Amino acid sequence: MARAAKSAPLPQPPAGTPATRTEAGEPLSPVISIREFKAHCQTCGMRELCLPFAFTADQMQQFDALVEHRTRLKKHEVLYRAGDPFHALYAIQFGSVKTVALSEDGREQVTGYHILGEVIGFDGIGDDRHCVEAIALENTELCALPFDGIENLSRAMPALQRNLHQMMAREITRDHGAMLMLGSMRAEERLAVFLLNLAERYRRRGYSPTEFVLRMSREEIGSYIGLKLETVSRLFSRFHQEGMIHVQGRTVKLLDAGALKKLVG
């Protein structure tokens, strides 16, 4: 209860180092003690799902049992595809993942760009099959959280239940924001929103909000914000020229976030 997750200091904020530290942190032992699990919750998205409230020892053990299954993905590996049976949510511990929606005629749309500390997989709940595909953008490590278990446990733990609902609802809110961007913003506004949003998410995790490495190609970014890759590239160049950002390949520094914000509204 008193252990406010938000104000807890976060470990190692190494986003400043561009390309040298691509890999995830230290390897994890396959057997996880409660203590070790708790320690990891501090750094992973699960703290949003489980830490805002107090566990009893028994509940902690139950929850710990859920998280036993860990997954590692190499760059470009697929976590799940559209049509795959749904059985778990995934909390991203290290790395990043894109989710891609596919239309019948083969069109692709990147619907999400998820970084460490975020939980994905909600798309599968609707009819027990995933309806987007999730692909690692770099070497990535995830906790698989069997959804049956979460539902079971959340019936006994109202705070967990509430938290699960909030996460799903925030996904809905996030998508509404994306719709607003896609439906009513001009190209330069979209890219500014994309950068500012990403900066904010890094900031909340204790990483630098002004300097980070994009894990998506120009084409993937374009798909995400509804533009062609050439347009994205041109805008990066223009923002760079105008002194608002510094771009070197996929490394981005925000030099004048205020200007970006003004550009949006």
**CB 235, min distance to a copy of itself, A:** 16
Binding segment toward DNA, per CB under 7 A, in 3-11, 102-110, 193-201, 221-229: 221-229
Binding segment toward DNA, per CB under 7 A, in 89-97, 113-121, 152-160, 218-226: 218-226
Residues found near a copy of itself in the complex (CB under 8 A): 101, 103-109, 111, 122-127, 131-132, 151, 154-156, 158, 161-162, 165-166, 168-173, 175-180, 182-185, 223-226, 264-265
Binding segment toward DNA, per CB under 7 A, in 41-49, 105-113, 115-123, 184-192: 184-192
Check binding of 218 to DNA (CB under 7 A): yes
Check binding of 77 to DNA (CB under 7 A): no
User: x/- contact string, 14-53, with DNA (CB under 7 A)?
Assistant: -----x----------------------------------
Member of 82, 168, 187, 259 binding DNA (CB under 7 A): 187
Check binding of 234 to DNA (CB under 7 A): yes
CA distance 10 to 42: 7
Q: What is the DSSP string of 19-38?
A: SS--S-SS---SS--HHHHH
Cα 13 to its chain centre, rounded Å, is: 16
Q: Which does 187 bind (CB under 5 to 8 A by kind): a copy of itself, DNA, none?
A: DNA
Tokens 């967990």 sit on residue:
160
Select 130 or 215, whichever has its Cβ closest to a copy of itself. Answer: 130
Tokens 């107090």 sit on residue:
54
Instruction: Give, in degrees to the nearest 5, the angle at Cα 154 between 148 and 159.
Output: 155
CA distance 176 to 230: 26
Q: What is the DSSP string of 153-221?
A: HHHH-HHHHHHHHHHHHHHHHHHHHHHHHHHH--HHHHHHHHHHHHHHHHHHTTS-SSEEE--S-HHHH
Check binding of 217 to DNA (CB under 7 A): yes
The number of beta carbons lying within 10 Å of the beta carbon of residue 86 is 18
Residues in contact with DNA by the rule CB under 7 A: 19, 186-188, 217-219, 226-234, 236-237, 247-250
